[in-house]
Amino acid sequence: MQKLGSELLATNLGHIACFHLNVNLLKSIERVMKKNFVLKEFVLISLITSLWVNISELVRYLGYVRPKMQEFFPYILEMGKIWDIQILAVWGFWDTLLTCLYVFLFWLCALVFGNNLKSIVISGVMSWAFIFVLYWVATANMLLAEWSNLFVVLPLALLETLVASFIASRLYVRYNSKLSR
């Protein structure tokens, strides 16, 4: 009987400890959720950040990728053509998606870690890995680009994502007091 009583006591203490952990977890989640996502700020910060993203994409493409692709596919006469309305529209859509991802991922990291260097690095590296590393490794793996291109393109893309995250960080400091430093 005494053994049963001590087992019940241990079980109840375990439940109390678990309940206490759950309450603390819920309080942490509630604290994070109070830092609301503000669409107006997100759009404004994305638009400003997109200036850097568009410049970076064009410089990387025109300065390195386009000449390499034209060299790699000499039999495709239209390879690397950019000044076409359809191609420019696709580029605009692509850059908009990139910028929104950079800014949103930074916002998420800033909610968890604060608006600091850690959030900038994590969001920049994650964006880089899940967009550019996957894209360029898949492209080279399908023999649509030379593997050696990755040693130039990927560092340039990493610079783009880190700078975009840094820009988002500074703009959130300016426009959103809810993302603390």
- The 10s digit of each residue's pLDDT in 36-76 is 788 999 999 999 999 999 999 999 998 999 999 989 988 88
As a whole number of angstroms, the distance between CA 82 and CA 86 comes to: 9
Confidence of residue 4 (pLDDT cuts 50, 70, 90): low
Q: Kindly state the percentage of the chain with pLDDT values over 90.
A: 59
User: CA torsion sign, 76 to 78 to 80 to 85?
Assistant: negative
143's torsion region: left (phi>0), alpha (psi -120 to 50) or beta? left
Burial of 169 (0-12, 13-18, 19+ CB in 10 A): buried
